[in-house]
Structure 1
Amino acid sequence: MKKILFICTEGFDTPGPSNHLISTLIEDLLDNGFQITLVQSRRQKINDDIPENLKGKSNFDAITIDRKVISKSSFVKRYIEEVYYHFRAFKRWRKVKNIDAAFVQSSPTVLFSILLLKVFTKHPILYSVQDMWPGSAVNSGVLSNKPIANLFYGLQKVAYKFSDVLTVISEDMKTKVVEQGVREEKIYPIVNWFDDRTVHEVEWSENRFVNKYNLSKDKFYVQYAGTMGYVFDYKMVLNVAERLRDYSNIEFHMIGQGSQKESFIKEAKERELDNIVFFPLEPQHMVSDVYSACSICLIPLKVGIIGNSVPSKAGLLMACNRATVNSVDEGSDYYRIFNENEIGISVSNNDPDGVAEAIVNLYEDKDKREIFAKKSHEFGKRYYARSVNTRKFIQLFNSMAKNKEVI
């Protein structure tokens, strides 16, 4: 039985966009004869340490390490604490025997686990790049100090160098990694998938989110559900909502939490934008209900983000039979995919008029909206389904475990 060491910076107890990806990937590896040792942290204690789909699996065990909760505004403290976590984790996972390969989850401090693996073991390393650090922080304006940014770019290049396999979540991200000097043959694009066993469209009458908030079926809901952090362009939502304030049936639903939410709410009130309604974060089991409650989705990203990160909600919306309006970088592969395949509309993230026009277009043309949604659903099944993408990881790990090196 091939044994994989999974090193994650966060744990299942803390809600996050990667939780469903990690849990389903581990489950499919287990079901395909792998043995998994998971290393994770425990911080917020909101969820169980182990998700239901992994409980009771005989070929699965977990090492869970308690961590402090530090404010996101204290970057230096957060970074140092996270580095310390990697060394604490190392003391635990180095005792695990007969490892065939290691999976390392993306984080700003990922280099330290990669170096510890490289120095103290001979395990081939798969580095799962979900969010390119510091690229997304630089492009979102969070990290503006150029010397510090260059230092982190240098550290990331070391992480890429000492990893045997890099998985990225888009062709745009692959391009970015190649630009940083990584050999193309060690990079494997695998998109963030939706769980085609559980995520699906929920009928309006049965929708728990709809019933919870007593939503009217007569309105047109433009939804963003997810993290409202620094890569999220809430200014675009404000500008578009302002342009569409005379459309009484169009309502913007902003669902979730994040570092920018308070500023977002404050400015919406200042502009007297009553067509924006804010909702709290919903638990993971409500994913299908939440995404099925919208007429269309709006994904607004700041300039330069799309190559460094990709919205994981895109696949979920496809699974729920919904079309998407994106405000993203023109010329990106992500931008092109939606327009060429007619699964939504991509508009430049410098063009609020264009975004407003796209929303009105789908609002007024129900047939077009339904055609886009259907094509989106079919596209998702072909490219974004769990059954398609976890198989790619299984093949990589089989190759790594068999040869103890990348083929």
Structure 2
Amino acid sequence: MRILFYGINYFPELTGIGKYTGEMAEWLVSQGHAVDVITALPYYPEWKIKEEYSSKSWMTEISNGVRIMRCPLYVPKNVTSIKRIVHELSFVISSLRFWSRVFVSKPYDIVICFSPPFHLGLLPVLYTQLRGVPLWCHIQDLQIDMAKDLGMINNKLFLNLMFFVERIILKHSSVVSTISKGMIRKILAKKVLNQECLFFPNWVDDKHISVLPKEASLKREFGIPMEHKIILYSGSLGEKQGLEIILEVAEAYRTQSDVHFLIVGAGGGRERLEELARQKKLGNVRFFPLQPYDKLGELLASADVHLVLQKKSASDLVLPSKLTSILSAGGCSIVSALPGTTLYDIIDEFKMGILVEPESVIALKEGIDKALSTDLNCYRENARRYAEQFLSKETILRRFEMDLLLPFSKKSVVA
């Protein structure tokens, strides 16, 4: 098949949507498909164009058999709702240069559009309607719902306009898929789909991310004694996680010299978190940059406890992608989730971590106290077992390919 990907994030971005989109494209090429990608210059999660691309504008490159058409875009230093809207629109406008060629060249067999941003589907809808090819819309975050529920956008007229655009895209998609059962329920509740919503979960390379001994971890590199405890948050430092709560809880442990809070990652909220830590004089909180993928297993092995945190209002609007790697590494997580959400139900059913109320300093402190005083081996064994059984990269992508080739059967992609 000749396949066109359209999304703002792509490899070499190490976290979030770009990681999965890149792995998906390269896997499809390894199976004999031809994949082209229209995407942006890489900028996430640092919100800064990567150094090796900083002097580039529109460009085409080949990476692991994938033809990548990259577009320049506006990347704000301080991310606000308005600046993010301009950022996303700048990519759409910039990408018109490549779309103008796509519209007049040999048609693709299918276009796969990745959301967010939610409005990226407009150009693919136009293309697929004119050229008579199918459109697959894959949703990683319910962006508009989240912006509304988190209070990031309060203008009702503007919200209604965005929901209207979203309905157009969903209605004209041949296939709509998303990453959790809870998100499927929310998409179906919009009552605009002409077909089922497919379950297409994120995955992990369980051969690359495996259970490692503490001796193979980054504890020594971080300068932390092997017998000390590490509470780790690793990933994007954005708005939807409510990460200030980590600093509030860390204050309660400032006299326990053998407990360290590590925040590893990048994002629009990092500078603010670092400033708060300085103001509170928290010597037990340390920040490190995002680690390269080949050191991810060693990073995860460093943690005694992982933090997977979300705000209440983000429940079932996004599923933390970091969780797949934590489970594959056999990590025990403290997870903030509301009962009845997909995240809560999975962790509870398979006993893979400690569940706490979101946005509660007291609940998070109690969860950490429990983790530091409990034998966590049962949680860790369950986590690794779940990853092997349900999150295998090869299994999930093989079944995704079956949906791609059967053409658009109504069966779900299941792990």
TM over 0.5: yes
2-structure distance, mates of 1:301, 1:232: 4
1:215 partner SS: coil
Can you list the C-alpha shifts for 1:229-282, whole angstroms capped at 9, x where unaligned? Answer: 111211321232233444432221111111122222222233333322111222
* Contact preservation (8 Å) 2:3, 2:108: yes
Counterpart mapping for 1:119-268 below 5 A: 119-183=129-193, 185-207=195-217, 209-268=218-277
1:372 maps onto 2:350 in alignment: no
2-structure distance, mates of 1:314, 1:270: 30
Counterpart mapping for 1:363-402 below 5 A: 363-366=372-375, 369-400=376-407
* Contact preservation (8 Å) 1:220, 1:294: yes
Counterpart mapping for 1:306-345 below 5 A: 306-345=315-354
1:256 partner SS: strand
* CA deviation after TM superposition for structure 1 residue 191, in Å: 1.6
* CA deviation after TM superposition for structure 1 residue 23, in Å: 2.4
2-structure distance, mates of 1:365, 1:298: 16
Can you list the C-alpha shifts for 1:83-125, whole angstroms capped at 9, x where unaligned? Answer: 3034233113224425211111112231322332233221111
When structure 1 is superposed on structure 2, of 335-344 and 71-80 the one drifting more is: 71-80
* CA deviation after TM superposition for structure 1 residue 40, in Å: 2.1
1:62 maps onto 2:61 in alignment: no
CA separation of 1:46 and 1:179: change in aligned 2, threshold 3 A: farther
* Contact preservation (8 Å) 1:104, 1:114: yes
CA RMSD of aligned residues (A): 2.4
How many residue pairs get matched? 394
When structure 1 is superposed on structure 2, of 239-248 and 169-178 the one drifting more is: 239-248
1:105 partner SS: strand
2-structure distance, mates of 1:296, 1:146: 41
1-structure distance, mates of 2:144, 2:181: 18
Counterpart mapping for 1:338-357 below 5 A: 338-357=347-366
1:210 partner SS: coil
1:32 maps onto 2:31 in alignment: yes
CA separation of 1:181 and 1:47: change in aligned 2, threshold 3 A: farther
CA separation of 1:373 and 1:132: change in aligned 2, threshold 3 A: same
Counterpart mapping for 1:78-93 below 5 A: 78-93=87-102
1-structure distance, mates of 2:316, 2:404: 26
2-structure distance, mates of 1:47, 1:92: 26
2:227 partner SS: coil
2-structure distance, mates of 1:388, 1:323: 24
* Contact preservation (8 Å) 1:131, 1:308: yes
CA separation of 1:18 and 1:119: change in aligned 2, threshold 3 A: same
2-structure distance, mates of 1:187, 1:323: 31
Match of 2:110 among 101, 105, 126: 101
* Contact preservation (8 Å) 1:12, 1:47: no
2-structure distance, mates of 1:46, 1:385: 33
2-structure distance, mates of 1:283, 1:92: 35
* CA deviation after TM superposition for structure 1 residue 65, in Å: 2.9
> What's the TM-score, normalizing by structure 2?
0.87
Query: What corresponds to 1:10 in structure 2?
Result: 9
Letter in 1 for 2:311: K
When structure 1 is superposed on structure 2, of 329-338 and 377-386 the one drifting more is: 329-338
* Contact preservation (8 Å) 2:242, 2:359: no
Letter in 2 for 1:176: K
Give 5+ residue unaligned stretches, structure 1: none
2:290 partner SS: coil
Match of 2:291 among 272, 279, 282: 282
Give 5+ residue unaligned stretches, structure 2: 43-48, 57-61
2-structure distance, mates of 1:46, 1:329: 40
When structure 1 is superposed on structure 2, of 250-259 and 60-69 the one drifting more is: 60-69
Letter in 2 for 1:5: L
* CA deviation after TM superposition for structure 1 residue 300, in Å: 1.3
